[in-house]
C-alpha cells in the first residue's frame, strides 16, 4: 500500500521533515570539510591581497547591503604580492567577512585595511562594529566545532580552517574584541 503525503500520520511527517533538515545540515558540513581538504592543493604561488579582497567583496557586496552594513576599504596599493594560493586566501577572507556580517545583524561598519608591517609582513585588518566576543569564548574560537550559532548557520569550522591556512603560509592571526563594540582580526603574512 502506498500512502500519499497528506495521509501520513503527523509524527511521520515530522520525522521526514527532521531527516530532511539533518541531511541539509550534513551536506553543508561535508562541503566545508571537502573544501578544507582540497585547500591543501596550492595552485597559485603568488597572490595580491588587495585583489583577492576586491574579488571577495564583489561577491559579498549584496550580502552587506541586505544587512545594511557599510564596508570601508583602506588599502595600500604598493604592497608586494605574498606567497599564497589566491583561492585559499579567498576562503580566509570569506570566512572572516561572513563572521563579521553575522555579528552585525542590526547593521554596522566593516573596515578592511591592508598595510605593510614590520617583519616584514603584509597585514590585513578586518574590524567590525558587531556584538563582540565574550571573554569566556575568545580562547575557544579557533577550536574545531566551537560555534555560538544555530546548526544551520555555523559549523564552528571557519576560524579553525582559517588559522590552519594562515599558519601553513607562515603567517599569524590575532584577534581583539570588546563585547557590544566590535571585533578586529589582524592577519600577518610573511613576505
Ligand X SMILES: Nc1ncnc2c1ncn2[C@@H]1O[C@H](COP(=O)(O)OP(=O)(O)O)[C@@H](O)[C@H]1O
Q: Does 91 bind Mg ion (CB under 5 A)?
A: no
Distances in Å between the Cα of 179 and the Cα atoms of 31, 103, 117, 125, 163 are: 31, 11, 27, 18, 22
List the beta strands (DSSP E) in 61-171: 69-74, 108-117, 121-128
Q: Does 149 bind ligand X (CB under 6 A)?
A: yes
Q: Does 156 bind ligand X (CB under 6 A)?
A: yes
* Single residue of 130, 132, 158, 182 touching Mg ion by CB under 5 A: 158
Chain positions 116 to 145 lying near ligand X, rule: CB under 6 A, are 128, 130-133, 137, 141
Residue 10: partners with Cβ closer than 8 Å, 6 or more residues away: none
The pattern of x and - marking residues 164 through 183 that bind Mg ion according to CB under 5 A reads --------------------
Strands 108-117 and 69-74: parallel
Question: For residue 53, what is the DSSP state?
Answer: H
Q: Does 99 bind Mg ion (CB under 5 A)?
A: yes
Cβ(103)–Cβ(148) under 8 Å? no
Residue 109: which of ligand X, Mg ion, none does it interact with, CB under 5 to 8 A by kind?
A: none
**Residues lying near ligand X in the complex (CB under 6 A):** 95, 99-100, 103, 128, 130-133, 137, 141, 146-149, 154-160, 183
**Residues lying near Mg ion in the complex (CB under 5 A):** 99, 158
Amino acid at each position: 500500500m502506498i500512502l500519499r503525503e497528506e495521509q501520513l500520520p503527523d509524527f511521520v511527517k515530522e520525522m521526514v521533515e527532521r531527516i530532511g533538515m539533518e541531511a541539509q545540515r550534513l551536506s553543508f558540513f561535508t562541503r566545508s570539510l571537502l573544501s578544507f581538504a582540497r585547500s591543501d592543493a596550492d595552485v597559485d604561488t603568488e597572490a595580491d591581497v588587495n585583489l583577492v579582497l576586491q574579488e571577495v567583496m564583489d561577491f559579498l557586496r549584496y550580502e552587506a547591503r541586505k544587512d545594511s552594513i557599510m564596508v570601508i576599504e583602506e588599502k595600500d596599493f604598493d604592497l608586494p604580492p605574498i606567497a599564497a594560493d589566491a583561492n585559499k586566501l579567498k576562503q580566509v577572507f570569506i570566512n572572516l567577512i561572513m563572521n563579521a556580517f553575522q555579528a552585525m545583524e542590526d547593521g554596522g561598519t566593516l573596515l578592511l585595511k591592508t598595510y605593510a608591517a614590520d617583519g616584514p609582513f603584509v597585514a590585513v585588518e578586518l574590524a567590525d562594529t558587531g556584538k563582540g566576543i565574550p571573554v569566556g569564548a575568545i580562547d575557544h574560537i579557533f577550536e574545531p566545532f566551537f560555534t555560538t550559532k544555530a546548526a544551520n548557520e555555523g559549523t564552528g569550522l571557519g576560524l579553525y580552517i582559517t588559522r590552519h591556512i594562515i599558519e601553513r603560509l607562515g603567517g599569524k592571526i590575532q584577534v581583539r574584541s570588546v563585547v557590544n563594540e566590535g571585533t578586529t582580526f589582524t592577519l600577518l603574512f610573511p613576505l
